[in-house]
Amino acid sequence: MPAEPTGAAAVTLLRGRPLVVLTGAGLSTDSGIPDYRGPGAPDRTPMTFQEFVSGPAARQRYWARSHLGWGRMRAAAPNAGHRALAELDPTLLITQNVDGLHELAGSRDVVALHGRIADVVCLGCRRVTTRTALQERLEEHNPGWTSAHADAAVRPDGDVDLDETVGFVVPACEECGGILKPDVVFFGENVPRERVERCYAAVDALGTDGTLLVAGSSLTVMSGLRFVRRAARNGTPVVIVNRGATRGDDLATCKVATGCSEFLAELASPTAVA
């Protein structure tokens, strides 16, 4: 499918119609958070859930990297694309991102499909605590770790590129002594059913009068692609805004190969083409 160079056709499909938005990592790159599959992105293999629970060494590796990455990710601020979506105020904003930037930008009805990196859950008692609190404990147990690895490159899921993690101390749950995990959906885990059903309901409600907008997602994983398939099956127009190819391009009514921030800012502008 050829890209729409100006985005005018996409704006026509989006302006003045009920709207559900699905966002991916490409939306947050302008906030300094790299993505996994964008043009020029290096090959990265995120830790799976099965690897995380396989033993203490895997968790040591995860938290040593994540401790450094979180210190940088939490400083990220919403960009023009996040702010534009908050202004557009879609019926539902579905995001595959775990950075919480949509909420910081003021978006109201948000389903974070994969959870939020700012929360931590105990796999034993299921108690949820803040990442900020855990970060303080990690600092106490590992003094000097941050300064010693200040040059490690940031990765998309809130950690960094770091091979040597021996000696990093991982604290346990203060309530039950269980294993602490970021409250996000790892590869190998399923998105909670209630989140999926809420998203399906919003997509179904669009019918042929509304539009599903995909912004900054390659749709490589089924967690996002299923909503594009659902919309296409329902006869709902689908607009995809992404610089690279996506797994849903053949289902799109219109594909715009441009950056998310500029397109969404144009869409939210009162002077946008109607």
- In whole angstroms, what is the distance from residue 12 CA to residue 192 CA? 34
Which residue has tokens 């499918």? 1
Instruction: State how far the alpha carbon of 212 is from the alpha carbons of 23, 215, 218, 237, in Å.
Output: 11, 10, 15, 6
Cα 110–6–3 angle (5° rounding)?
80
- In whole angstroms, what is the distance from residue 79 CA to residue 260 CA? 10
Binding residues for Zn(2+): 122, 125, 173, 176
Which strands, in side-by-side order, build the sheet including 115-122? 128-130, 115-122, 180-184
Instruction: Using CB atoms within 10 Å of the CB of residue 123, give its burial: 0 to 12 exposed, 13 to 18 middle, 19+ buried.
Output: middle
DSSP per-residue string spanning 185-199: --BTSPPPHHHHHHH
> What is the SS3 assignment for 176?
coil
Catalytic residue among 82, 102, 114, 141: 114
Which residue has tokens 């040597």? 164
Reported as half-sphere exposure (CB side, CA atoms, 13 A), residue 148 has a value of 13
Task: For residue 82, indicate whether it is catalytic.
Answer: no
Helix, strand, coil in percent for the chain, rounding step 5 = 40, 15, 45
Binding residues for NAD(+): 96-99, 216-218, 242-244, 260
Task: Give the catalytic positions in this structure.
Answer: 114
